[in-house]
Structure 1
Amino acid sequence: MADRPGDLGLNEQEAEELAARVWNALGFVQAPDEFSDEGVTLIKGMLGPGSTVDPAALIAASRAIGQPLARLAEWEAEQIQLLARDPAVGLSQEELIETVARVHDEVWRLHLANRLARVDTDAATDVIIGFADIVGYTAMSRRLQMVELERLLESFESQAHQIVTDHGGAVVKSLGDAVMFTAPTPAQAASIALALQDLTSDGVLPTLRIGLAEGPVLMRMGDVFGEPVNIAARLASSAREGTTLVDQNLADALSGDDEVRVKHIPTLSVRGYRRLKASALSRAPHPDAPPEPKVRESRRRAKDRKASQDDDVAED
């Protein structure tokens, strides 16, 4: 019989309960009555030196590891089965699994090295948070076939990720029809937003609306928390089709940047903020450029309301 979790350095009851919680946090529905040798090794590695374990931190770490790996494994299982049945590939399912495992290890090590190189314990916690959201996604998802919708989301995520990283930012997570990212400086955040909007103007992506906010945040388990996250999300949902809104902190920081134009707008009343100060961000026009054509305000507002109503239906 395999070892019981009670042999892991804690007393029997404590180890049983903690091992079951770790197992669940890793994404498995129920802890087995008896752990396999691999399971014991895994739990031992997670528990560390017995009594020094912080159960809350352990559960949080298990969840942070298990959730993304479960999603990744679900997609990879489909691909591995397809490839194993393809005679042109010439690899068995077990061989493909070993190949994928080696790729995982190498990619993880590269990401870890890059992250460790960027870590500075003395750095300020202020960062810029951004949300880029596809306008009218709910109505679009009803209209498109599933294959078309998958291609759209894949194009959006891949193009957005490329732009964010090319300009020195980092993608925090993809939310289907939205991408959340961070940028280290106001100028880089502005460059990311403008480049994303350029994609939509070129017809590569549907129209976006973007919100940016600057301030102190808590970075925990690969995610970001704090008021700038809430403000950036509210600004994105309040932005007009094809526009970017920034908070007061970022507007002030960009006020002397000749590459962009920051235009104050009336204060917004959104969930959690009755008088949220915001500004519209755009690229500064070239001195020799002709004046931009005027768009009737009533028509623009009608389109914005229509897109917002479509998305609100899904939230309700």
Structure 2
Amino acid sequence: MSSSDSPVGLLLVNLGTPEAPDIASVRRYLAQFLSDRRVVDLPRALWLPILYGVVLNTRPARSAKLYELIWNSDTGEGPLKTFTRLQAEKLQARMGSPRLIVDYALRYGSPSIATQIEALAAKNCERIALLPLYPQYASSTTGSAADAAFDALRDKRKQPALRIAAPYYDDPAYIDALAANIGGALAALDFEPEVIVASFHGLPQAQIDRGDPYRDHCEATWRLLCASLGMSPERLRLAFQSRFGRSQWIGPYTSDVVTELAGQGVKRIAVVAPGFAADCLETIEELGVEIRDLFHRNGGEKYARLPCLNDSEESIALIETLAKRELAGWM
């Protein structure tokens, strides 16, 4: 079989999830995640004693309880894994080429990037495109996924050609998908939000100061989304969630924005997470429960968490657009 006739692999990549909602599984997942130098770039001599002496002895029990609340018991998966798998399955069916093999991988947990690259190579894929489902580039997400892919090929005598898709934070197809998804979700509510909060995952400010473009990408997405939805920056507020530790993270923090809105007398809000390709613990529990309860405690009355793109029609059409761009010249 010539290289021009061999199958082409497309690997959708997202962050990850524990294998089960129990303490041991969550501890393994957090150990892998928080040991990544791109995620926590503190000196190892400082960070590892904290990680193994404090974090992994305290955080897994609480996180396991939260994962249990959102776990997909029918499939034995966390929601992020379920949605990423469905995205790959639906994209395979949608694109319909016998030469294209679509699969998915998780940066932390399983199936791993290394395992899935090996599986595609075993199916004679001499060309593999990695599509990280992170619209906004961050060293700790897209950069880490690229590291894992290159590490998987490091010792191979026969390496497939590898492409890593660019971030798509300002891509019209992405903005259109978000706007359609948000518009549909708002229309389904039984109230009209006075303010919508666009909550992106946060990053330590120190990583931004060292050159990470993530905040710029988030702000670009937010501005384009404001324009697409016809909303002012006051109606669609920018915020960042999931702060961890005591260091300064990029802001404004979602918790502060929601508290401020309630304090100003705003009674009805909705929250959306444009940077997440699939719902996960940070959207379902943090935004759907913690931030909701915070809003209500401070005087808010109506609150809605809007769903991520997940495996919606808008999502699969977007991923198809991105995939065709990366596969150009190979298919």
TM-score, normalising length from structure 1? 0.24
Structure ID, larger Rg: 1
**Which structure has greater helix proportion?**
1
